[in-house]
Structure formats: C-alpha cells, structure tokens
Amino acid sequence: MSATNGGNPRLDRIEKMIEQSLRATKEAERANDKAHAKFKDDLRRWASLGVKEARKHRKWMSESDRRVAKLKQESIEYQRRTDQNLAEITDKLNGLIGFVAGR
C-alpha cells in the first residue's frame, strides 16, 4: 500500500484488492502457461505416436501384400498341377474305357 493515500482506509482497501487481483492474475497466467506447455508436449507425443503407427501399418500392409502375392502364385501353381493331373487321369480313363470296350 502506498503512503500517498493520505491515510484513507477506503483507498487502502482498493489498493489492496488491486494488488490481490494482480497476484491472482499472475498465478493464473503461470498455471495457464504450464497447462499450455503440457498440452503442446502431449500433442507432440500423440503426433509422434501417430507417425509411428502409420509406419507400422504401412509395413504390415506391405508384408500382407507380399504374403497374398505369394499365396496367389502358389494357388496358380497348384491349379496348374491339378489341371495337369486331371488331364492325365482323363487320358488314362479314356484309354481304359477304350481297352474295355475293345474286348
């Protein structure tokens, strides 16, 4: 409190309220700055996790695509062998039918 209030208690009270208000404002600003810094830190952390998860997902998708391509190729080869075996069996069956019919 200043000494220039001329001993006016009302002015002393007003001055005291202004000082309390200023202290409260400074405390609120510090708390806000701290919360803002924490928010920025959290946001940075979440962004980093998002990037890591995106990379992990792309790697998983690439591996999945590679596995699907391999399985597709194996399926094509299996179908080719099945078709070949079926043709051979059909030829043998036709030969057997011809042999039996020729008797």
Mean pLDDT per block of 10 residues along the chain (103 residues) reads 70 93 97 97 97 97 97 98 97 93 80
pLDDT at residue 74 in the model: 98
pLDDT at residue 3 in the model: 58
pTM metric for this prediction = 0.54
**Which domain does 39 fall in, by range?**
3-101
pLDDT at residue 2 in the model: 52
Structural domain total, the chain? 1
pLDDT at residue 70 in the model: 97
Q: How far apart are CA 41 and CA 36, in angstroms?
A: 9
- 3-state helix/strand/coil string of the chain: CCHHHCCCHHHHHHHHHHHHHHHHHHHHHHHHHHHHHHHHHHHHHHHHHHHHHHHHHHHHHHHHHHHHHHHHHHHHHHHHHHHHHHHHHHHHHHHHHHHHHCC
